[in-house]
Amino acid sequence: MSTVRVHTNTDAPPRSEDPPPGGRVGAQQRAPFIRQVITLTRRNLTHIKRQPEMLSDVTIQPVMFVLLFAYVFGGSIQTNGSGYREWIMAQTMAFSAFVVAFGLSNDLTKGVIDRFRSLPINRGSVLVARSTSSLIHSSLGVIVMSLTGLIVGWRVRGSFLEALAGYALLMLFGFAMIWLGILVGSVMRSVEGVNGVIFTTIFPLTFLANTFAPSENMPHWLRVIAEWNPISSLVQAMRDLWGNGAPPPVDAQWPLHHPIIATIAWAIIFTAILAPLAMRAYVNRTRD
């Protein structure tokens, strides 16, 4: 019964490979990063399952958008090629790239973030899990939109692989945009604030593009902006890959002639800038 405890030298900070004093079981557990992300992603998805109303943005909204754009705008805007209804689909899909990481700002106001921060896990895992679950969330919207599109007459006229590439680009761009959501979510104090900021910045951005109307009818300066708009690249790339609509006018800006490369580039640039900023904002937000 005589428990002899040898005091480790606590004057010198232990090196990371040192066992803790007493060498107790369980004190040095670590989960690999990927397991942390999977665990937290599963948690976020369970939240959606428990609050099905969170899915309204990927169920009712997409159907509404497709019908609205196809029938309200579709009748009045003339485009070349296979008709506005088909032309507008890519734009409608691009909307789904803006599923905001609302869940994060919800989490930040709750004690559970303290719990995560008191665990020996990578701080980035909470954010990567958030972006992963948001991506899964938004892909549900893409599926709903595609089905609705098919019903109202949208068709993919390219090959199967091209179609898949279109979806992949959409997801890639969506992933980049989710970091914007996480950044705003970490900076803003309330969910309502996040909503406001995202809406007032993203909404004009989606209109200032070749999304709703072809850019060639705009004044020159506006057209340059619109054609360099990342969303224009994305939408043009999807139109090309799905065979919806004519190729861009010959005098269009560079991104519209190389929309796939441009979209990938934009996605990489956005992620490279936004992800570290989001990470920093999150760490700052949760410091004190």
Binding residues for another protein, per CB under 8 A? 2-8, 10, 13-14, 16, 18, 20-22, 24-32, 35-36, 39-40, 42-43, 46-47, 50-51, 110-112, 114-121, 286-288
Name which of 21 and 249 has its Cβ closer to another protein. 21
Q: Give yes or no for a contact between 253 and 222, defined as CB atoms under 8 angstroms apart.
A: no
What are 111's two structure tokens? 């004690």
Name which of 114 and 192 has its Cβ closer to another protein. 114
H or E, element range at 230: helix 230-242
95 CB-near residues (< 8 Å, 6+ apart): 62, 65, 206
The whole-angstrom separation of Cα 43 and Cα 178 is 18
Least distance from another protein to the Cβ atom of residue 137, Å: 15
276 CB-near residues (< 8 Å, 6+ apart): none
Name which of 61 and 286 has its Cβ closer to another protein. 286
Least distance from another protein to the Cβ atom of residue 12, Å: 10
Q: Is the dihedral of CA 251, 252, 257, 262 positive or negative?
A: positive
Name which of 21 and 247 has its Cβ closer to another protein. 21
Name which of 20 and 153 has its Cβ closer to another protein. 20
Helix, strand, coil percentages for the chain (3-state, nearest 5): 70, 0, 30
Name which of 124 and 249 has its Cβ closer to another protein. 124
Least distance from another protein to the Cβ atom of residue 48, Å: 9
22's torsion region: left (phi>0), alpha (psi -120 to 50) or beta?
A: left
Name which of 115 and 220 has its Cβ closer to another protein. 115
Least distance from another protein to the Cβ atom of residue 1, Å: 8
Least distance from another protein to the Cβ atom of residue 42, Å: 8
Length of the chain: 288
Q: Give yes or no for a contact between 223 and 215, defined as CB atoms under 8 angstroms apart.
A: yes
Least distance from another protein to the Cβ atom of residue 37, Å: 10
Least distance from another protein to the Cβ atom of residue 46, Å: 6
> Which of 213, 283, 1, 233 has the alpha carbon at shortest distance from 97?
233
